[in-house]
Amino acid sequence: MATRNTPLDRFYSVIPAGGIGSRLWPLSRADAPKFLHDLTGSGQTLLRDTWDRLVPVSGEQRIMVVTGRAHRAAVEAQLPALADHNVVLESEPRDSTAAIGLAAAILERREPGVIIGSFAADHVITNQALFLQAVTQAVAVADAGYIALVGIQPTEPAIGFGYIHCGGAVEIDGAPSAMAVDSFKEKPDLATAQSYLSTGGYLWNASMFISRADRLLEEIGRSEPELLAGLLELAAAWDDPATRGPAVDRIWPGLKKIAIDYSVAEPAAAAGRLAVVPGYFDWDDIGDFASLAKLNSGGRKSDLAILGENARVLSDSSSGIVVSQSKRVISLIGVKDIVVVDTPDALLVTTSEHAQRVKAVVDALKLSGSSDVL
Amino acid sequence: MATRNTPLDRFYSVIPAGGIGSRLWPLSRADAPKFLHDLTGSGQTLLRDTWDRLVPVSGEQRIMVVTGRAHRAAVEAQLPALADHNVVLESEPRDSTAAIGLAAAILERREPGVIIGSFAADHVITNQALFLQAVTQAVAVADAGYIALVGIQPTEPAIGFGYIHCGGAVEIDGAPSAMAVDSFKEKPDLATAQSYLSTGGYLWNASMFISRADRLLEEIGRSEPELLAGLLELAAAWDDPATRGPAVDRIWPGLKKIAIDYSVAEPAAAAGRLAVVPGYFDWDDIGDFASLAKLNSGGRKSDLAILGENARVLSDSSSGIVVSQSKRVISLIGVKDIVVVDTPDALLVTTSEHAQRVKAVVDALKLSGSSDVL
């Protein structure tokens, strides 16, 4: 008989499935967020890819999804094996500390000593074996009391990601690669990114947090005691159908909106309680269409990547990416590095260079009363 | 009482409404050719604009339209005042000599000595008064036995038009501006076009032919006697419902396809029987989307021209032209000199620079079995 004798046996995966991905509009929408799309040509959504990646780590019964009420049906359709008690519905978005903290508080009540790992629903990872290696080490780090991150070994001077500056090695059984985290760096300019790569000791921040649930809550409590109190109160009411609804209505809307990077990661790093395990797998957060183009063109800049079932695209001397969701014939002539996103009610035409500006357009559409296409 | 005492009283306008305008795909289609679109924002089709321009010249009862059977209903809907006997339907396209020649043959039988003027259904002309002046002179030239052209005074070194090289003045009463035609020049390169402008004596060829019908037929007979024989036979059968159908079925499909430029204009010029009257009105044949963009942006290159009723276009630092036929939201970010043509079943994205290559795409779509969108 199997006995629970490794930290991984106490591991629970948490998938916060929240963000819309505005920089991928008009593909990503309020009612069709990024995680519900197949952006890799895998034939399934990013959420399902994430689930499939985590099942070997924690098992189907130990994966919790935190998502908006509006996405419940879509999430459950994507993940038929997701247990009812592992669906945490947000009545409205309150940012990542609330989302992951609530999961931690619920799970810690159910199973004291649980170790949780939070993994975004809309990232792309290839090489499952290397992912598993890194997570296994991170779980050992978490078991030793640290807040653990998995940071990605950079392969190029990317300017679209945050960086983790590593400190010295930390000695933890089962985690030979673990290092202290010295500091976090916001998205750098190209020269800075190049210096990170040549210096070494920098990893991409992939927002993968692994921690004992009680330790995570402790960290939240240090920086945001009111937020922690709300989360604990919610968790206490959660598993009784009679108390959950009223508690959510009373507490959730008042929770402070703060990213876990600020409530937990930065203070813990400053206090020496944060460690990182490098991951050597390919990773991307597909932050915009430039990144999506790159991901789908095998890195060949002269190619035209085409996404979309039964896409009918005719390209003459064109490169970039076409996302086809409308079944229309799309003809491109002599347009280089182009981004064309063709959906039934909205069309985007830009270039890779301007891909980050898509979010501003979404804001402009909101202001101009075009919310029907957002 | 009015009496017929000027050549203009014997004038008949002929509108060959045939070409699809493949360089304007996917706006122009087999079932929605260029002449059935409003490309100027006038609120009506180019065909209707053409009709309205010709009514003051020849009157509603003296305008004949030669078009394909498939377009009969659309043409009649556009031109409710068009008389039934002035609709000449082609069972299939046989190029401009057959189309204009048949009109000439029919009209000459009905009204010997008639003068006809042929004007494309899909050109843009502003300044009706200057148009009327030029046509009036050309009719006088035609009455004197010449094949007359109206050539357009160039305003820039356009490379998208053919040019007429003018010879010396010809002395004709009522046509003080008439000149002999020395030769025709195909679409030139920019340097050549610039030299035409600086030299002077060159006009744009707008394919406006004005001639006595009998003289036009005589010219066709000189270069293409078999074609003339077919046209005369057709015309003899035309006005009897019992004979028209069988004659068309027997003769039309076998007529030689040849542009009137080759069958009439070039030989007549070489023989000194062609004269030209310069037109000082604004004219464009809207040959491609670059030309359409220019026409609709008031010549300001930095602007984005938008065509389409209720277009919902959001532009951020973009220029060029958007043709919106699908009611979708169209967002452009940082794309310069772009051409976006958005129709319910086909989308084109290119730049002004490549606008001439649209025709090649149409050919490719034909070959690839995508005729549903042509």
Chain B residues inside the 8 Å CB shell of A321: none
Please give, rounded to a whole number of angstroms, the shortest distance from the CA of B325 to a CA of chain A: 12
Determine which of A156-160, B76-80, B204-208, B232-236 has the lowest per-residue pLDDT on average: A156-160
Q: Which two tokens stand for residue A169?
A: 């090695």
B252 lies in a domain?
yes
Per-residue pLDDT at A19:
82
| Predicted confidence (pLDDT) per residue in B178-234, tens digit | 999 999 999 999 999 999 999 999 999 999 999 999 999 999 999 999 999 999 999
**Contact (CB<8Å) A350/B335:** yes
B143 lies in a domain?
yes
Instruction: Name the 3-class secondary structure at B43.
Output: coil
**Contact (CB<8Å) B350/A332:** yes
To which residue do tokens 């060829």 refer? Answer: B205
**For B356, nearest residue in chain A (alpha carbons):** A333
Q: Which among B304, B318, B322, B350 is the top mutation candidate for probing chain A, defined by the most A β-carbons within 10 Å of its own β-carbon? A: B350
Asked if A257 and A343 sit in the same domain, the reply is: no
Sign for the CA dihedral angle at B201, B207, B210, B216 comes to: positive
| pLDDT of residue A371 exceeding 60 | yes
Question: Which of A331, A345, A358 has its CB closest to that of B333?
Answer: A358
Asked if B102 and B234 sit in the same domain, the reply is: yes
Asked if B45 and B156 sit in the same domain, the reply is: yes
Chain A contacts to B (CB-CB under 8 A): 26, 312, 314, 316-317, 328-335, 338, 340, 342-351, 353-354, 357-358, 360-361, 364-365, 368, 370, 373
Q: Which two tokens stand for residue A293?
A: 């183009």
Per-residue pLDDT at A41:
83
A1 lies in a domain?
no
| Boundary-marking domain end, from B232, B257, B284 | B284
Asked if A54 and A193 sit in the same domain, the reply is: yes
Say if strands A274-279 and B274-279 run parallel, antiparallel, or are unpaired. unpaired
Per-residue pLDDT at A20:
85
- What Å distances lie between residue B88 and A348, B46, B91, B236, B306, CA to CA? 44, 19, 10, 14, 35
What is the rounded CA–CA span in Å between residue B35 and residue B122? 5
A62 lies in a domain?
yes
Asked if A250 and A301 sit in the same domain, the reply is: no
| Boundary-marking domain end, from A249, A284, A319 | A284
**Contact (CB<8Å) B314/A344:** no
| Predicted confidence (pLDDT) per residue in A97-112, tens digit | 999 999 999 999 999 9
Asked if A306 and A169 sit in the same domain, the reply is: no
**DSSP secondary structure, A294-340, as one string:** HHHTTT-TTSEEEESTT-EEEEES--EEEEE-S--EEEEES--SEEE
Per-residue pLDDT at B299:
58
Query: How many domains does chain A divide into?
Result: 2
| pLDDT of residue A1 exceeding 50 | no
Q: What is the CATH number of the domain that holds A209?
A: 3.90.550.10
Question: Which of A314, A332, A348 has its CB closest to that of B331?
Answer: A348
Chain B residues inside the 8 Å CB shell of A335: 338, 349-351, 354
A122 lies in a domain?
yes
The stretches of B111-167 forming alpha helices (DSSP H) are 128-143
**Complex ipTM, two decimals?**
0.86
| Predicted confidence (pLDDT) per residue in B25-37, tens digit | 999 998 899 999 9
A2 lies in a domain?
no
Using 50, 70 and 90 to split pLDDT, how confident is the model at B97? very high
Asked if B19 and B123 sit in the same domain, the reply is: yes
Can you give the three-state secondary structure of A75-139, one letter per residue? HHHHCCCCCHHHEEEECCCCHHHHHHHHHHHHHHHHCCCCEEEECCCCCEEECHHHHHHHHHHHH
**For B318, nearest residue in chain A (alpha carbons):** A350
| Boundary-marking domain end, from A227, A260, A284 | A284
- Report the range out of A16-25, A100-109, A291-300, B32-41 with the highest average pLDDT: A100-109
Asked if A247 and A334 sit in the same domain, the reply is: no
Question: Which of B312, B342, B346 has its CB closest to that of A370?
Answer: B312
Per-residue pLDDT at B41:
83
Asked if A353 and A234 sit in the same domain, the reply is: no
Asked if A123 and A159 sit in the same domain, the reply is: yes
B108 lies in a domain?
yes
Q: What share of chain A is helix, strand, coil (3-state, %, to 5)?
A: 40, 25, 30
Chain B residues inside the 8 Å CB shell of A351: 333-335
Asked if B101 and B51 sit in the same domain, the reply is: yes
Please give, rounded to a whole number of angstroms, the shortest distance from the CA of A161 to a CA of chain B: 22
Using 50, 70 and 90 to split pLDDT, how confident is the model at B254? very high
Q: Which helix (H) or strand (E) holds A285?
A: none
What is the rounded CA–CA span in Å between residue A251 and residue A351? 44
Asked if B269 and B367 sit in the same domain, the reply is: no
Please give, rounded to a whole number of angstroms, the shortest distance from the CA of A43 to a CA of chain B: 25
Q: Which domain holds residue A366?
A: 289-373
Query: Which residues, listed in sequence order, are joined to residue B276 by a DSSP beta bridge?
Result: B149, B179
The candidate with the shortest Cα–Cα distance to A274, out of A192, A202, A183, A203, is A183
Using 50, 70 and 90 to split pLDDT, how confident is the model at A132? very high
What is the rounded CA–CA span in Å between residue A364 and residue A361? 5
A314 lies in a domain?
yes
Chain A residues inside the 8 Å CB shell of B360: 316
